[in-house]
Amino acid sequence: MVFPFGHFSACGRRGRRPSRAKADEKGAHFCSGRASGLASRAEESQRERPWEAAIRTRLAAVAKLGAMRPGTLTVQYRNPGEHKTPFHQISYTHKGRSRSEYVRPENLSAVRREIQTYKRFRRLVDEIIDLSLEASRLRHQRR
């Protein structure tokens, strides 16, 4: 339908709406056929919901994590040549500095749990970053 003052498309551009064949030749504007911009926003939020839900579940998992520490637990020997008197040592890097600490036998299981918790934390953070980047790409791709 052509109004006396021209046609308003769904995206707000004003102009007469010629037939499709003439429009392709002239490069005229055709909107996507949606009745309003609200439909596209609703569809956009529907597409982003799975990403946002996945991010929220991983953030909740991070919040539930307990004590953690980075590092690698190794067995060292006081006399390496004879493999006598073993002890456990944790090695890690923090703020650009490498450190090694002795781990008492009674603390060994707790330190192992903390290392496993830290590995889980790093894996969750990597997943959150991957999901956030993908969601950002989708958001900016549509515009």
Nearest CA to 116 among 74, 64, 73, 87?
A: 73
Considering the domain architecture, whether residues 60 and 20 belong to the same structural domain is answered as: no
pLDDT at position 4 over 80: no
Classify residue 38: in a domain, yes or no: no
Residue 51 confidence (pLDDT): 78
pLDDT above 90: percentage of residues in the chain: 48
Q: In terms of DSSP H, where are the helices of the chain?
A: 20-26, 37-64, 108-142
Q: What is the mean pLDDT of residues 1-27?
A: 47
Q: Which long-range contacts (CB under 8 A, 24 or more apart) does 118-127 make?
A: 118/68, 118/69, 118/70, 118/71, 120/65, 121/62, 121/65, 121/68, 124/58, 124/61, 124/62, 124/65, 125/62, 127/54, 127/58
Instruction: Note whether 69 and 100 are same-domain residues.
Output: yes
In this structure, the answer to whether residues 48 and 28 fall within a common structural domain is no
Q: Are residues 84 and 136 in the same domain?
A: yes
Domain region containing 102: 44-142
Considering the chain, what is the average pLDDT of its residues? 77
Q: Report which of residues 76 and 22 the model is more confident about.
A: 76
Work out the number of other CB atoms within 10 angstroms of the CB of residue 1: 4
Whole-structure pTM value: 0.62
User: pLDDT of 76-120, one tens digit each?
Assistant: 998 888 888 999 999 999 999 999 999 999 999 999 999 999 999
CA distance to 9, 86, 135, per residue, from 81 (Å): 83, 12, 55
| Partners of residue 99 on adjacent β-strands | 92
Kindly state whether residues 28 and 48 are assigned to the same domain.
no
Residue 16 is predicted with a pLDDT of 52
Q: DSSP letters of 1-25? A: ---TT-EE-TTS-EE----HHHHHH
pLDDT at 11 over 80: no
Looking at the fold, whether 29 and 50 belong to one and the same domain comes out as no
Do 117 and 70 belong to one domain? yes
Residues in the chain: 143
Question: Count of domains in the chain?
Answer: 2
pLDDT band at 139 (very low <50, low <70, confident <90, very high): confident
99 lies in the same domain as 128: yes
111: tokens are 């330190």
In a domain, 39, yes or no: no
Report which of residues 129 and 45 the model is more confident about: 129
115 and 71 Cβ atoms separated by less than 8 Å: yes
